[in-house]
Amino acid sequence: MKGTMCGVYKAKPAPGAEWRTDLPIPEVGKNDVLVKVRAAAICGTDMHILPWTPWAAERLPLPMVFGHEFSGDIVEVGEGVTEYKVGDRVAGETHIPCNDCYMCRTNRRHNCVNMKIIGVHAPGCFAEYIAFPKDCVYKIADSVPYEKGAMLEPMGVGVHGVSVGQVKGQNTLVYGAGPIGVMAAGAAKVMGAKKVICVDVFDAKLELAKKMGADVVINGKNEDVVKRVLEETDGIGADVVIDYTGNEQAIRTGFAALRKNGRFVIVGLPSRDVTLNLSDCIIYKEATFTGVTGRLMYETWDECAQILATPGFSLDPVIGGIYPLKDYQKAFDDIIAGKPGKMILIP
């Protein structure tokens, strides 16, 4: 497809971005699809890219369009693509696997040794069109609105953590009530958790966690988290702790609230090294400690689709705002101001 498109363009290694109306529509490679973007969502990664933090400076090959959470319609396919066709409604998996390394060959493509990431190493979705590999295509049902389709990628991060936590019948402590945390809290209820306890330091976010299904919410700024968790679990502690914050104090508190022989799953990315007393946190407790990254390709996506179709589960409360793509700065500003939920951009 020839022509130009509108998009959010990171032209130089400095804070900010440009709204452009003259960007070329991406070319489609042999094994690529071209998608008309119908909805895109802002991720924490984008909160590094726009202000140009050291994390972004180490990774992005500028200039480029960024953004990686999206859904839309296929409008063109490469000559090597037979699995998908024009008109398919799809969402995008962020991780681009090499399909050749040991991890890819053993069905762990989400943890590819040579991983590239859409919107970080490859052009992203904050534009009218995006071209990306067929390996990263996930078809969505006609019943799934585009806004919710754009949220399946981050929802998958939350669901992956819950799935690894094996929460069925378990008292489950979810640390962090950001968009991924609250979606995880809702998923934990659908997946049979006995009691879901959610911790954050913002009351508005905790209210959102309750709407998504959390049984108990705790403001860690105002309450003794460990004491409350023990009260809610008959003095035993949480069977499962899943951290979506990466915050050092939250991780330490989570371990203190974990019962002996419990499972601790860490999904949030710490911004610096974390110091733990391994004897007390893991060894003496015989705790299971597991790290989780991204989503399984595509088992987690299928889990998300099943959860989304479960009566009583809805992503509506998680949508914090819907903005025209050209008003991207307003959406970013609202996130910085602490507005809860996921911000959706419509090209």
Q: Which pair of structure tokens corresponds to residue 231?
A: 């009260």
Is 48 an active-site residue? yes
CA dihedral 176, 318, 37, 71 (to 10 degrees): 80
* Nearest alpha carbon to residue 73 among 136, 170, 144, 139: 139
Q: Which of 4, 45, 95, 121 is catalytic?
A: 45
- Alpha-helical regions (H) of the chain: 46-49, 54-57, 102-105, 146-149, 152-165, 179-190, 203-212, 225-232, 248-257, 278, 299-308, 328-336
Contact assessment for residue 215 and residue 243, using Cβ atoms and an 8 Å cutoff: no
Neighbour tally for 143: CB within 10 Å: 8
- How many angstroms separate the CA atoms of 27 and 231, rounded? 58
DSSP state of 255: H
Q: Which of 4, 21, 48, 94 is catalytic?
A: 48
Is 45 an active-site residue? yes
Contact assessment for residue 315 and residue 183, using Cβ atoms and an 8 Å cutoff: yes
HEC string for 49-107:
HCCCCHHHHCCCCCCEECCCEEEEEEEEECCCCCCCCCCCEEEECCEECCCCCHHHHCC
Active site residues: 45, 48
